[in-house]
Structure 1
């Protein structure tokens, strides 16, 4: 049976604790029965049992173990939903450390000599952005999670916490739900115990909690970040140069580069706008400030999202932010708390005019974004690709915009491809081969680096041509400018690529260049580069 903790009961409890000669006596009579979100009770064994209302997904409930009070400063543990934060390491300056003790709660009477840890940067074992602690690290959390019932069950584990005042407390989490089954009502028992026989190792310099928008010690939001309220039903439009802008008709305007609405993101491209926009995640592992340029390859344009999946509406978005294609969305979602947190990811943008920018979303709070957006340089790189086009009755298709070989079902209507290959035949996405703006021209360059600008003449679109073979061979749709890419030796029947570079127009009409460096029985090796939207040279 549990009783409310009275000053007299607390005196009795502290007199029991005082039996251990190494125990520093607590300040009797100062622990309130209720303090903020915390309610304290005392059990028959003299330990304190505390219940904390941690249901607010945005606010931390901070507890000072030395006084048992809810505090803003000088706290030891903080609670929010199922997260338990400690005031040390990357989470604060109080030097709080935690260790896992061996044995049952009743048997733990002295703090352990080893196994101590302070809060450390978030690792990759979980999907949140919280610092890793002895309570939460994604690999061995304080709870077991049942994916079928979506419930949390505390592990039978005793923690020992070194407080901000250098005292030691054992703590065991007993439950996460109240009697009605409501979550985030953490209940734990705790008591002061003797200090370890040796001095604890230094936890290292603490991190002063961020006083701004960001959580303490967790990727603080830069002071110059932009705050954008996209919590309503209307889209909010941004320009890299001007920030939030008013747009009357986004479907025809190139005054905007990025649009936000709740968790959805658009760029001025594809199904969202008339611009040269696009996006992709930066995979170089660089910090936001360290990114100075971006390759022209690999940008994804906007498309209408299928609304068939639960919780998703049919709307125009950029797939790079939406978690399609096997890559994560820009945010992390916790299904047990329904909490959205911004992922630790930097995105590369193509603006409406085709220039490049970088984007980092630092925080998201119910539709309010805190983000950084800045222009960067455009970098043109040469890629190498091998394409097996050895089947005479099939075509292989390539995107010169960065996707490499792409699967195409209806080549005549699919805008995903720029170059088609089958044996020695080549085509572009234009003319008789596709609905795109594809075309090709042979240049005077003999090496791919030599071609620096688009040819002024010689551009041809696809037409129906006779296939190689005896008289009566069928026709095929191909590009005449590309037909002379190889030399043929009739004596040996050898096909060898000429030292020639071709300029191409992609399906969306932008400049690329291609050189075939080898061919073996239908297997091509290509070098190619994409100038990017609006560019007239490399």
Structure 2
């Protein structure tokens, strides 16, 4: 059996066993589980099969891994709590913490992205990998999850999916898309669809034996799993079966770069924030309500996990072209910071466009440098004119922004673009909650 190498793994948290001996695999998490029924502590890793449910059962193998058997033959979703190994029936699965994945026929959806909104702000997501076609996936050698900064964990999304021609309103399940096909699917011939291979006219549906996954849950716990079957003992289709086991993994609540890049201090209900947004490619995401830096796995499709994000002089908001949230900003040029305690009656909110971020578009420019516009929303850029702070210098404009997210409102203003040492991309700002009227 060939050993598995996760692509682009920088830290060797995923160890590959090269011999037939097996290791004792265990994992624990300091994160608190959030579920519909409450609870103050994260359940320990399972040591025996869970209760399952009417359409779901669990068993244990001789090698101490677990088997899930699902009756997904009907047209209703079967929701699975993989940590407690039980079937759940959330009243509102789109906003429930009770489930991790769900089955309906060949479809497997994940709680996150466009399929759900766990309250932790972390999507359930998978990293799919395969070995050469014809080889068996080396399931027993996977003893840890690849770190978040080394691979891409995928979740369910609407619309285009890595270049596939998908209609805008079509939901694409990560499990039926990744990993890439060994045989591209053609309707009259068949082919691969993520976890399974389908023959012509769906006569036969079989798991791809060379494919395996790591599932990350919204509690930041990790499971290795592989699909085993799609038929029951009588040969009836619609009965998926898979093997799984919890494995160690780095917390998905950590900065992928390994450091916190936003700090906050609050006094008299006003929060001062210092953000290291100096990275050329990395965004720093902030949730105003919790006053914290957050780490969304799929920021473009997580409506509730973040409000504003920073990268150099760019600031994006969770709405419009940047996200599926309901964040908007209203700009008040030369606004009186102290006097603004409620939302103005004439507030006109803007979202990000595909070619223009609201924070760098509004308010419109009122400065020039020999005929060149030098104002970009929240900041002024001096270009080659020395307008008080030197050439090629960014300075905040005198603007107070009203930021709204649903029925929550804040006033916000930018204070600086440079650190005390003069390093660029080190933003200072302050914000405070205000009343709706």
Do they superpose with TM above 0.5? no
Shorter chain as denominator, the TM-score bin is 0.3 to 0.5
Identify the structure with bigger relative contact order (alpha carbons < 8 Å, sequence gap 6+): 2
